[in-house]
């Protein structure tokens, strides 16, 4: 980023205009030093509609056209999983910083390619795992790091909901990386890796839809210190979607929708205290603010969502896929 841009609004582009892009654009509008400048869809009508709703200056009918716009500082890649690598590299090639939706890509080799390109071009790249930046999650990380309640003995984390099975939608389409593991199973795995680190052993089992995408996935992570993480994702069951950290001297529980703006229950000596973080947004603004700061400081890697962490996350997903026999 050139020095003269430091004091101007950061101009964002969005590639892929689905539900998550809509939420991201809504929260981007709450950030004073950034603006949604351009959006791109394969459909001009969809791009025009999205641009009008979110007050974007430009609407493109191809991702390639947006990536060639010299006025764009950063791009949020919100396309299906299978397109993440190509879309990210295309933007990096053009010197545009990339915030890439999770999972970063389809497998570890794709993530390695993306990181290599970012380093080659000396351009900022970060995985958009928004949970990491939410105040309630940062609070829990701090409490666990400080061992306020002693060491973690067990983590229970789940994420499940139901949708009508439809292979025409991204969630179930195998060619787009559909299924529960990559889409939502990544959140319980993230909770384990960000608090307990990499496990010494992984057990996993899954059920599958008729097209080969996974409908549920159950995982058990074992750690050297004796801690365990019981993790679950499902597209055929509504689950509490909580993250419960059982510690030596108490329990920290991130309540329903733990991956999104939520509350935290502190349970000790039979008493429960609920901590409210008074969210006023959907929650995507926190990762965007962090990304903007990195861009202004001309950083090429996040100090929170590091390349190393993204690599560990995708390698763990790869390992679970191998165990359950999920092949794309």
168, two tokens: 């025409």
Per-residue confidence (pLDDT) for residue 7, from 0 to 100: 67
Bridge partners of 125, per DSSP, are 98
- The residue ranges of DSSP E strands in 82-213, in sequence order, are 97-101, 125-128, 152-160, 201-208
User: For 37-96, how does the pLDDT look when each residue is reduced to its tens digit (9 = 90+)?
Assistant: 999 999 999 999 999 999 999 999 999 999 999 999 999 999 999 999 999 999 999 999
- The CATH number that domain 3-129+283-300 falls under is 3.40.50.720
Would you call the peptide bond into 241 cis, given omega within 30 degrees of 0 as the criterion? no
Bridge partners of 222, per DSSP, are 201, 228
Distance CA 25, CA 19 (A): 10
- The CATH number that domain 135-276 falls under is 3.30.360.10
Where along the chain do its domains lie?
Answer: 3-129+283-300, 135-276
User: For 151-162, how does the pLDDT look when each residue is reduced to its tens digit (9 = 90+)?
Assistant: 999 999 999 999
294, two tokens: 């990195």
- On the CB side of 234, how many CA atoms lie within 13 Å of its CA? 14
User: How open is the CA angle 25-13-70, to the nearest 5 degrees?
Assistant: 155
Q: With 0-12 CB in 10 A as exposed, 13-18 as middle and 19+ as buried, what is 2?
A: exposed
Distance CA 297, CA 125 (A): 14
80, two tokens: 């299906």
Of 3-7, 108-112, 203-207, 317-321, least confident by mean pLDDT is 3-7
Q: Do 101 and 77 form a contact (C-beta atoms < 8 A)?
A: yes
Percent of the chain with pLDDT over 70: 98
Checking if the pLDDT of 6 tops 80, the result is no
Q: Do 59 and 69 form a contact (C-beta atoms < 8 A)?
A: no
243, two tokens: 């993250």
Instruction: Output phi, psi for 190, to 5 deg.
Output: -55, -45
Distance CA 279, CA 102 (A): 22
Sheet of 264-268, strands arranged across:
201-208, 214-222, 228-234, 152-160, 243-247, 250-254, 264-268, 271-275
Q: Give the burial string for 148-182 (b: 16+ CB within 10 Å, else e).
A: ebeebeebbbbbbeeeeeeeeebbbbbebbbbbbb
Distance CA 265, CA 7 (A): 41
Checking if the pLDDT of 4 tops 60, the result is no
- On the CB side of 257, how many CA atoms lie within 13 Å of its CA? 8
Q: Which residue has the tokens 């390109």?
A: 117
Q: Report the mean per-residue pLDDT for the chain.
A: 96
Distance CA 282, CA 247 (A): 30
User: For 181-235, how does the pLDDT look when each residue is reduced to its tens digit (9 = 90+)?
Assistant: 999 999 999 999 999 999 999 999 999 999 999 999 999 999 999 999 999 999 9
The residue-averaged pLDDT of 249-255 equals: 98
């Amino acid at each position: 980023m050139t020095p003269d841009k430091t004091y101007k609004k950061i101009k964002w582009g969005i590639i892929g205009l689905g539900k998550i892009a809509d939420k991201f654009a809504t929260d981007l509008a709450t950030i004073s030093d950034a603006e949604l400048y351009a959006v791109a869809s394969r459909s001009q009508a969809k791009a025009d509609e999205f641009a009008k709703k979110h007050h974007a200056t430009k609407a493109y009918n191809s991702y390639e056209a947006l990536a060639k716009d010299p006025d764009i500082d950063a791009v949020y890649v919100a396309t299906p999983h299978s397109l993440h690598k190509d879309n990210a590299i295309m933007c990096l090639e053009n010197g545009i910083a990339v915030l890439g939706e999770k999972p970063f890509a389809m497998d570890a080799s794709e993530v390695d390619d993306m990181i290599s390109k970012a380093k080659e071009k000396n351009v900022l790249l970060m995985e958009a795992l928004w949970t990491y930046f939410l105040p309630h999650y940062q609070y829990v990380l701090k409490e666990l790091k400080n061992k306020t309640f002693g060491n973690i003995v067990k983590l229970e984390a789940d994420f499940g909901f139901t949708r009508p099975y439809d292979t025409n939608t991204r969630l179930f389409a195998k060619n787009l990386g559909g299924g529960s593991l990559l889409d939502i199973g990544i959140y319980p795995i993230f909770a384990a890796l960000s608090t307990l680190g990499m496990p010494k052993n992984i057990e996993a089992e899954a059920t599958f839809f008729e097209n080969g995408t996974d409908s549920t996935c159950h995982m058990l992570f074992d750690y050297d210190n004796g801690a365990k993480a019981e993790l679950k994702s499902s597209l055929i069951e509504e689950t509490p979607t909580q993250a419960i950290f059982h510690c030596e001297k108490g329990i920290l529980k991130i309540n329903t929708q733990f991956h999104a703006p939520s509350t935290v229950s502190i349970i000790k000596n039979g008493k429960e205290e609920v901590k409210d973080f008074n969210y006023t947004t959907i929650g995507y603004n926190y990762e965007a603010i962090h990304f903007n700061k990195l861009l202004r400081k001309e950083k090429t890697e996040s100090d929170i969502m590091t390349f190393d962490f993204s690599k560990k996350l995708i390698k763990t997903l790869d390992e679970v896929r191998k165990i359950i026999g999920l092949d794309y």
